[in-house]
């Protein structure tokens, strides 16, 4: 089977499992939405302040709750599943890419589901927000790549649910900086191109690291 | 037992550290900041050492993935541990310096925040190592993480250039004369101290590995050995 066909099958498998359980859409999205509702009670319900802080809070919620998307049940292959994938001769790089594609798509879905909730609750300035069509996928891809890498190194560990967020969140700094600075640049009427380049560069670096580390990651679960 | 080479390294390190301490305490005070500026002789070298230590961790990680030799894994782990200590020291020294100069211990400026996150990245790396008992699995997982974690280093280094901030861009260019010489001496002293700590930690890691292997090579417990029969006054009921 060609490489990209393997990638498509692995991604399809993860997405089918997710569609059956609907963990992201029915559990993680409402949980994150509840956080967006609760935050104003902690920082004050001043409407102009919330409009100003809204975009930053959105990215923080995406980062922290996005970890739950990465840790979802469908992202974990049990022993028999891993054995089957190996017996089928799936390339480790295709497996990494496939699971990254699935996670990235789910993070993107998570972002898109949260965005109208943020706009409704916080009423941020929407000038130039169509650029988000570029920012959201780049952040989703970055989180998906980080998730596959860190999820790979913590696979089958008892402390996985505690350890993975500790590994992901500090490493997601460039993604958070790129996303927040892009939105700020839009509000100030400046070019967001440098921040898109930063996000793309981080994604590329993570993608290269992931593909190179795919075989050792495969051996982790052997 | 300490080897002659290591002994000489330690003696040199002690001499250079003493020279740096004496020089740091006796060199003329900075015209604008006064004695507070002397904290820079700890803060800057500690930050440099953190970068160096994490760089060595990457080298060890890549080398382990290529060769699978335990020495490289021990090098990566030992250097990361020391790097975390030096990162913590750099943050602490920076906070002590910031209080009188900036008026507060902590400001939300890019270099501070990125350095704090760097600290957490490598705490995560060390936590990962502790979470895996099997040496081979530990080395494999840690090697991947050691390489990925290094992505943070250029961001910390460039943060003062990429974003407007209170933090000065580079200490090398902002001071001159005797102060600059003192800073270089402090960097040298910290580098020697790092070399000694790394050498000692590697030796300790080697001994830990030998102990672990000796334990594994010992007589295996028979099935059910973990369950011992109840005892009464020191007598085992058989």
Distance from CA of A167 to the nearest CA of B (A): 5
Chain-centre distance for alpha carbon B227: 42
| Token couple for B148 | 């990925």
Distance from CA of A200 to the nearest CA of B (A): 14
Find which of B113, B126, B131, B143 to mutate to test the A interface (most A CBs within 10 Å of its CB): B131
Q: In this structure, are residues B51 and B119 in contact, taking their beta carbons and an 8 Å threshold?
A: no
Rounded to two decimals, the ipTM of the complex is 0.80
> Which value, in Å, is the radius of gyration of the alpha carbons in chain A?
18
Residue of A nearest to B155 (CA): A174
Q: In this structure, are residues B145 and B73 in contact, taking their beta carbons and an 8 Å threshold?
A: no
Residue from the list B127, B144, B151 with its beta carbon closest to the beta carbon of A163: B127
Domain limits of chain A?
3-220
- Using CA atoms, how far apart are residues A183 and A194, in angstroms rounded to an integer? 12
Tell whether A202 lies on the interface with B, counting CB pairs under 8 A.
Answer: yes
Nearest to B149 by CA among B34, B30, B60: B60
| Tens digit of each residue's pLDDT, chain B (238 residues) | 557 777 888 899 999 999 999 988 888 887 778 888 899 999 999 999 999 999 999 999 999 999 999 999 999 999 999 999 999 999 999 999 988 888 888 888 788 888 999 999 999 999 999 998 888 889 999 999 999 898 888 888 777 776 655 555 555 556 667 888 899 999 999 999 999 999 999 999 999 888 888 887 775 555 665 565 555 444 434 3
Distance from CA of A155 to the nearest CA of B (A): 9
Whether A167 sits inside 8 A of B121 (CB atoms) is yes
Whether A206 sits inside 8 A of B117 (CB atoms) is no
Whether A154 sits inside 8 A of B141 (CB atoms) is yes
Tell whether A105 lies on the interface with B, counting CB pairs under 8 A.
Answer: no
């Amino acid at each position: 089977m060609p490489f990209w066909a393997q990638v498509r099958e692995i991604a399809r498998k993860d997405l089918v499992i997710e569609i059956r359980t609907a963990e992201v859409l029915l559990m993680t999205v409402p949980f994150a939405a509840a956080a967006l509702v609760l935050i104003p009670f902690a920082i004050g319900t001043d409407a102009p302040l919330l409009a100003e802080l809204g975009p930053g809070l959105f990215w923080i919620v995406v980062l922290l709750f996005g970890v739950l998307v990465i840790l979802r049940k469908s992202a974990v292959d049990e022993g028999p599943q891993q054995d089957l994938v190996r017996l089928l001769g799936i390339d480790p790089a295709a497996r990494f890419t496939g699971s990254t594609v699935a996670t990235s798509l789910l993070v993107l879905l998570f972002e898109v589901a949260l965005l109208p909730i943020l706009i409704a609750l916080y009423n941020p300035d929407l000038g130039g927000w169509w650029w988000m069509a570029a920012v959201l996928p780049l952040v989703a891809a970055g989180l998906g790549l980080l998730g596959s890498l860190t999820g790979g190194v913590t696979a089958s560990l008892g402390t996985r649910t505690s350890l993975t967020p500790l590994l992901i969140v500090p490493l997601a700094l460039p993604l958070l900086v790129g996303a927040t600075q892009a939105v700020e640049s839009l509000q100030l009427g400046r070019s967001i191109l440098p921040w898109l380049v930063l996000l793309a560069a981080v994604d590329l670096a993570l993608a290269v690291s992931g593909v190179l580390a795919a075989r050792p990651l495969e051996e982790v679960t052997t | 037992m300490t080897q002659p080479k290591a002994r000489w390294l330690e003696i040199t390190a002690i001499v250079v550290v003493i020279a740096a301490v004496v020089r740091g305490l006796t060199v003329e005070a900075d015209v604008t900041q006064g004695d507070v500026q002397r904290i820079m002789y700890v803060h800057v070298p500690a930050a440099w050492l953190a970068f160096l230590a994490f760089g060595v961790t990457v080298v060890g990680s890549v080398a382990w993935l290529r060769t699978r030799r335990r020495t490289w894994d021990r090098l990566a782990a030992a250097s990361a541990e020391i790097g975390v200590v030096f990162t913590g020291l750099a943050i602490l020294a920076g906070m002590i310096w910031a209080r009188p100069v900036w008026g507060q211990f902590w400001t939300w400026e890019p270099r501070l925040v990125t350095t704090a996150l760097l600290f957490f990245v490598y705490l995560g790396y060390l936590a990962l190592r502790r979470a895996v008992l099997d040496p081979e699995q530990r080395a494999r997982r840690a090697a991947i993480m050691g390489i990925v974690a290094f992505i943070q280093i250029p961001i910390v280094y460039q943060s003062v250039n990429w974003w407007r901030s209170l933090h000065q861009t580079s200490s090398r260019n902002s001071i001159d004369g005797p102060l600059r010489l003192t800073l270089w001496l402090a960097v040298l002293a910290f580098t020697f101290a790092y070399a000694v700590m790394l050498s000692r930690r590697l030796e300790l890691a080697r001994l830990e590995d030998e102990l672990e292997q000796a334990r594994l090579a010992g007589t295996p417990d028979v099935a059910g050995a973990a369950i011992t029969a109840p005892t009464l006054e020191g007598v085992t009921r058989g």
